[in-house]
Each structure stands twice: as structure tokens, then as C-alpha cells.
A and B are shown apart, each in its own frame.
Chain A
Amino acid sequence: MSATDGSSGNGAQHVGRRLRRKEDPPFLTGRGAYVDDIEPSGCLHAAFVRSPEAHARVVSIDTSAALERDGVEAVLTAADLQIEAPLPCAWVPPGVEVKSPEHWPLAKDVVKHVGDPVAIVVGRDRYAVVDAAEDVVVEYDPLPVVVDPEEALCDDILVHESLGTNKVHEWSLGGGDIEAGLAEADVVVERQVVNHRTAGAPIETRGVLADYRGGSLTLHTSTQVPNFVRLFVAIDLGLSEEKIRVIAPDVGGGFGSKLQVYGEEVALSAASRKLNRPVKWIETRSENLQVSHHGRDQIATVRMGLKRDGTITAFHANIIADFGAYLMLLTPVIPSLGAFVMSGCYKIPNVRTDITGVFTNKMATDAIRGAGRPEATHMIEVCLEQAAAMLGIDPVEIRRRNFIPKEDFPATVATGMTYDSGDYHRTLDRLLEHVDLEAFRAEQAALRERGVYRGVGLSTYTEICGLAPSRATGPAGVGLQTGLWESALVRVQLTGGVTVYSGTSPHGQGHDTGFAQIVADRLGIDPEHVTVIHGDTATGPQGLGTYGSRSLSVGGEAVARATAKVADKARKIVAHALEASPEDIEVRDGKFMVRGVPDKGMTLAEVAGAAYIPGDALPPGMDPGLEDTSFYDPENFVFPFGAHACVVEVDVETGKIEIVRYVAVDDCGRAINPTLIEGQVHGGITHAIGQALFERVHYDESGQLVTGTFVDYALPSAAELPSFETDRTETPSPVNSLGVKGVGEAGTIAASAAIVNAVIDALRPLGVSYINMPLTPMRVWEAINQPQVEEAHA
């Protein structure tokens, strides 16, 4: 399937096309340049000495044996690095107290989780420093450990003694009156929804290469946010920002785990400054699973009240969010992102989310693909499907009765958000064109006769993305201590090609191609002649990176706006040269043409010639050059939406689940490149399948990580998955001129509920009404063999 409706706009030649990616040839031929592929001469390698204890006082560190090894240049501890400020947490919500401990790149006296680093070994090759790290003798005095977040809230064992409590904060968002809404309900579905801890697990682990010389630092790092890294490395090292150049070269996936300012980035920079040599560190996979931030880890008690006809009267989520041992860049704000869309795509008058953050002796959590929104969708959608079963209403019908109708858009919901655009019935209709539910029910019944248990699960969702807008997210709004606008510089070269500098920082999404399509249409050139530069703080204007499905709706719009300014100037030059009015100049057939005059026009190269070699062709008084910059800060978020269905078969003897079909209909506004959208949807769904069925970061009660390798932390492979069926509708966003929304996280936000609902649908005849993820064979088998008692209150 690859259907769509709605045009992709404005007689566009390139926008809307399935252009294959411009960035691919180097990757296909082994010529990508990831951090570990870059090695300046004289480069030293680093290995970290990390705590094997979850909580302990560091009594002593003996580096002598390590220093005696051949090839070892230095062993550095916190005292050696001259770091002036702790690592950042960028969320300071107005009116809410957030307890935030100091977090240093190398632990000073006490380690708080397994993997907390205490020293760096620097030497001449990567094997030698790993050997030497083993020789660093650290004496630890173990302290009591708290791993369970509910236990941590009792404050019997403190993660940070100085704070006097493990409770980080309490934060609420909602509208209406929850208790009144629940009192009005005929039934209340209440359950505990655990959204367990997961890892981002990009296939390229993190890597840092710091090169300090002549008072300036060049930092190659595998990051999604080079500008944030530059700012905080500057603060932490006491350097001025312009002395630092941060480059995100080719980045092998991020999924939120590289939306961070990591201690290793600061520590390597400090080490390079101290040693006057380039220093490189490449994270091992074991380190990646241990100390790249984790995601999710929420225990939610949710209550959904409904009338007998299926109308939702109230939805309440009371969330305990396990933040691990420290607050990193965005740690405490992640559950809040879910709270913004806690009413999903439904008209719910009374909605509230109460969040309690808690410290435990584990790695910090932070943004992982979806960041708060997968949790919200999961809570809503599993409750709604359960309500449908209890009320004897078809799962499709109960959704239709509660959808915000399209005529309500822009729709302000109880959480205070204004959803930009939506047509939820249409995506669901389209889904049902692909999934014949009636036929499935007949097949399901026939199969059950033979002891084969199949189920279908739905998930209809909306999410909030395009992060931005600064006024809502910044200090006066949600409380992030940053703006979230984006920027672009569009430069026409003398020969008629275009260089675009974007402040976004892709790691697989395909910005080079999508942005080129946007520019090409507006300047009448082929996308082949557009080169997109990103991920380097030394080129182009200041930007803010790639996360929160923002690159197109914020960064792409900045590109479109800068291009429009360039096109305006070009029109003036053409109008002058051809003796026409600028309003009559249009881009047609690859040229700037005079409207209504078939063969009177100039190519972009001719316009550039006039702009860069000023003469008669340049209007009098006009400055030379043909480039412009736009900073764009949208007025609102964007709200993609869609309808997903999953069909599973459960082996009731073993508890094993097979995904038989997965069908996704998504609406992310206008499509710039449908192929890229589908790729994002496939990956997003798979990320959620991983969480729903296989992946779990698991610590034992002593705080030891027991899923520290890819053998124990099970990413799905091709063999566990079906091919996906995807389709789209296009409901343009009114927020930006492109009409686009985001799609990088949508699949992940939608899918876990569809999978779990499908499994429950299959097992409902066996008395199973809910299973918390991951739905491992053991858990499913246990649920089948210990049927739950439904917890509805009439």
C-alpha cells in the first residue's frame, strides 16, 4: 500500500515525490564517517573505570599499576579534570520544586549507580587502555541500595543523603474535575499500567573525540544536539562558546539516547585540554546499555470513567516516574510530555495527570523515542479497549463515539493544548478498508474452535511534537531553560547550486533529501543541486538539533522561509533584468519566468551571476549576494495522529506471540517524501514491538544490571517481525506553511497499545484482561494460567 490523497501542494515538482535518498551512496559503500572512523594524528584513546557497585563511597583510587603499563599516558580522576560546573538538567518548572543533586562527569566521593564513572585511563591504543582500566584499583565502601521506585518513595534508603528524600518532584496537569467526572461514570476501568525501562540502543554506540589546541576545542560526538553539547561543555570547562566547535558527523541512530549532554563529552574535553592531545572514547555496547540514558520506567495507576453508552467522562493517570540516580538534560520533564496529550484523540471533559518523580540507584532515564507519549497512548488505549469489552461495545464504535470531530479543529482539549488539525474518523475508516474486522471475527471464532488463539488490537492516537514553540516550552511556559526554535541559512552559489545550512542534526532521518526537495521547488532547480550541511556548530546559524519529531515542522519550515526570502530577492533581480514586475515572476520549468510570457526567464545560475558579479543586471541600490537566514519559532506544536491495528496469534501452551499482521494508517500532514515517512513508521512500530514483546532493562534488587549486553537485552531481529502495511491520509497542519507535522516517533507512540490489545483480545476467553509489558512467553503463560479478576467498579 502506498496510497494517499490530497496533493502535496502548489504544483510542486519535487515535494511529495519518492526521491531516493541523496545521503545514501557513502553509507552503501562503507564510506560513512562516524566518530570512530575519524582519527587525527597523535590521537589517544580513553577507557572509563566504572563502578561495579550501585551505591558506594569511594574510599581510594590506586592508579599506580595502570600507569606502569606500556602505552598509558594518564589516569585521571575528578580532581584532575578542572571541571567548573556539574552536568545540566534543563528543566526548571515555574512554581514547582525539583530536587536536583549535583552530577559530575566523574563521581567525586560516592557512586550512585552501576556504571557511574570514577576515572579515565588515557593511552596510545584502545586495547592498552582497556587493560589498564582493569588495573585501576578502586576501594568501595558499599552503601544501602534502593532499586524499586515505590520502595524508594518511603525514604528508608536515600539515593542522595543531602536531599533528605528520594522524591524529586510532584507535577500535575489537567482540566475539569476528575472526581466529579468519575462520579458521573457508569463504569470505571482502573488498572496499574507499568511502562517498563527500555534502552535506546542505536547500533552505533556513543563516541567522543575531543581535540583541544590553541585555546580552542573541536569535539566530534555522536549526538543529536551539537549546540546543546557546545553550550554545556563551554560552561563546564569555563570556556567561551565560540572557542568550541562541536561536530556531529555521521551518527548511527539516536532514538533519544543521544539527546543528551553526557559526562563523557565533558570529561574527554577536559582530558584533551589537560594532555594537549586529541583523545577518543568509543562506548562499548555494555557501557551503552549501562550508561546511555534509559527511557520509560513509569508505574501508572489509571482510572477511566465511562457512561454506559461508551462516552468517556474522565481519565486520570497517577504516575510514579523512576528517574534513576540523577536528573540529566530533560529527565524530569519526560512524563509531562505525555500529560499534554493524556486525553488522546478523544473529547474528555475531565483529564488529569499527577506525576511523582523518584530517585533510585539506577541509570538516569530521559527521552527515548516517543518520550512520555507512548506511555500516555498506552494507558488510554488499553483502558478504552477494556471498557469496550466490559460495556459490550465494539472497540471501533467506542472510539468513534469519543473522537474529537474534525469540525472542532483547532480543538482545545482539557489539558489546555490546542490540537492544530485532525480527522480521526478518516484514518480509522482507512484502516478498516485494509482490515476487515467482520471477516477477522469469523476467522477468529473458527480458529478458537481448533484451539488457535488469534486477536486483533486497535490503537488510535494523537501525539504532540514539533518541539518548539519556545513560548510554551521555555522558562515562562513549561520551564525548559532554552528556546526551541530552529534556523536555516540558504545560500545560492555562483554556479546556481544551493547550500543549505540547518540547525537540525539528523542521524538517519533523511534531512538532506527532504530539505533538498523543499528548496528545489522554490528555486526551480533539481534536488541534486542542493547540498544540506548540518550537525556542525561552526557552519551556518545557531540551531537546536533533532528530537521530538521537530526537524521538518520546525527545521524544514525554517528552510522554506529562508528559501522564500532568497526567492524574493531572485524575483527582484529577474524583474529588473527582464523589465517586469517582481509580482509577475514565478518559478516554472526550472526557471524564474515572467508570468504569461512563455520563454522569458532566467535560471537560478543566471540570477546568481547577477547577484555575485554586480553589473547592470543587479537592481540599483541592491546589495550583492544571494543568501538568507531564517529563525523560525512556531506558534503551536503539531499533532500527528493515526489508527493502527495489530493481529497476533498466541501459542497458549508456551505463551509465545507471533505478530501476524500490522497495519498502520498515519497522518503527519503533507508528505514531503512518502518513502521517508514509511521508513520512519516502520522503525517506530518496530521500536514499540521491541518494548511490547522483548526488551526490558532489568536491574536486580542489589542494583546490578542484568541486561547489559545484546544477548540479554533483546532487540527484535528480522525473523521476529512481519512486513508492515502502511497507508496515510493527509490533513495539513495550519501551523506552518509546509502543512507538515512530524513522524519520527508516531509509530512508537501508537504501536505498543495495539499489540497488547491484540494479545488481550486473543486471550479474553481464557479470562485474561491485561498483561503488563514486555509480553514475554513466561508472562503470557502465567496470565493464561492465573486468570485475572476484572477490576471494574460499577
Chain B
Amino acid sequence: MTEPVRVSLTVNGTRQTASVEPRMLLVHHLRDVLGLTGTHVGCDTSTCGACTVLVDGESVKSCTVLAVQCEGAQVTTIEGMGDEQELHPLQEAFWEHHGLQCGYCTPGMIMAAADLLQRNPDPSEAEVREGLAGNLCRCTGYHNIVKAVMAAAQAGDGGRIPEPAPPEGADETAQTFAHGGLGA
């Protein structure tokens, strides 16, 4: 097995450096190494989109890329979009329009929607449906998700990607050795 390598990402504005197995998927790096469990895994085939995050501002299925491929990249996850005190317009719209039930697809759906609205701030319903075709939901029938994304677009700023300026010296070096078997 290959030796661990250092990978340095800026995640939600904070620089995070860790040693990981070269084969580690970005989604497992985010979840298991950095503790950002808002990004979910729903399939093995990059079909469901539950793991969608933004890498350098573009939506990526984080089960499809290796952490090491993202060296130096800016990664935005659901945790970076807004918090309960200050929800992102998409989060607010999903809440208002009942765009979630079990909540499992929601983070990926919101990240994919942010990417869509960033590229197309005023999409038609068909464009929203097409734009979210890579994200599966089993609960909502998409009806209220589409409504929420349209509402966020109407409200403006739905495609905003928060870029919190990291405070000086905020770099964190994650200790990855909780997963002792990784380098085996």
C-alpha cells in the first residue's frame, strides 16, 4: 500500500493540511478526516449527488475525486454555506418551501443548486429540473425542491458562494491518525 501523502485544501475558508492515503476519496477526507459530516454518501457510482460539494466554485461529486487531486483547491461544503443564525438564501428557500423531508440528499441538492444559480441566476423550471438531474431525492418528488430553487433565484443571491476570509494564522493541521489503518 502506498505511503500517505500530505494534502492541503482550503475548506470553507480554512486551510486544512493532512496526511492521507493517496486513494482516499474527497468525500471520505471531508467526512472522516476533517469531520465535516454534512456531505453524504448515497451510492457507489457517482449517480445520486448526495456528496456534491464545490471545488474552486464548481460543483463536484466528491465521491468521484481523490482528496489528493484537490491539492491547493478551495472546497465549499454545506457547512460553509450558512449556519442556523444566518441561513444561505437556498437553505432559507428549502426550509420555506418544504424542499426536504429526510434531509439526506439536501446538502448535495443545495450545493448543486448553488452551482446552477451561479451559472444561471434566472433559470426556467425546465432548466432547474435539468440542472438538478444529477441529484436524486426519494422523498419529495422534487416538486418542492424545484420550487425552492426557483424561489431562491427570484429572491436573488441564490448562487452566492460564501467566501469567509480566513483570519490570520488560522491554518489547521488535521491529525489524521485516528484512522490508523489508512497507510497500511
User: Interface on A for B, CB 8 Å cutoff?
Assistant: 20-21, 23-34, 36-37, 69-71, 123-128, 201-205, 250-253, 255, 282, 284-286, 507-510, 675-676, 678-679, 682-687, 709-711, 715, 717-719, 721, 723-724
Contacts and interface: CB of A to CB of B under 8 A. Distances in A.
A426 B81 CA distance: 46
Interface string B73-100: 0000111011110010001001110101
The B interface, classified by DSSP as helix, strand, loop or mixed, is loop
B19 to A, nearest CB: 14
Given A510-B101, A711-B47, A715-B138, A203 B184 contact: no
Contacts of A70: 1, 181, 184
A255 B140 CA distance: 12
Given A30-B36, A203-B48, A710-B136, A253 B102 contact: yes
A33 B104 CA distance: 10
B180 A71 contact: yes
B130 interface: yes
A255 B141 CA distance: 13
The A interface, classified by DSSP as helix, strand, loop or mixed, is loop
6 closest Cβ contacts across the A-B interface? Answer: A30-B38, A71-B181, A27-B103, A252-B104, A508-B102, A686-B141
A253 B104 contact: yes
B91 to A, nearest CB: 4
Interface residues of B, number: 67
A26 B147 CA distance: 21
A253 B145 contact: no
Contacts of B37: 30, 33, 36-37
B44 interface: yes
Given A71-B180, A202-B104, A29 B136 contact: no
A721 B40 contact: no
Interface stretch (B54-62, B105-113, B153-161, B164-172): B105-113
Contacts, number: 202
Given A204-B40, A253-B138, A29 B87 contact: yes
28 contacts: A24-B94, A28-B94, A29-B38, A29-B79, A30-B36, A30-B107, A31-B38, A34-B40, A70-B1, A70-B181, A71-B180, A123-B181, A125-B179, A202-B104, A204-B40, A204-B42, A205-B42, A252-B103, A253-B102, A678-B143, A679-B98, A679-B101, A679-B144, A683-B138, A683-B139, A710-B136, A719-B129, A719-B132
A181 to B, nearest CB: 38
A508 B181 contact: no
A717 B134 contact: yes
A250 B107 CA distance: 14
B103 A718 contact: no
A32 B140 CA distance: 18
Interface in B122-142: 125, 128-130, 132-142
Contacts of B43: 285, 709-710
A124 B103 contact: no
A717 B134 CA distance: 7
Nearest to B150: A723
Contacts of A69: 184
A21 B95 contact: yes
Contacts of B110: 28
Q: Residue among B48, B102, B110 with the most chain A CB within 10 A?
A: B102
Contact of A36 (B21, B41, B87, B106): B41
B96 to A, nearest CB: 6
B39 interface: yes
A536 to B, nearest CB: 17
A322 to B, nearest CB: 23
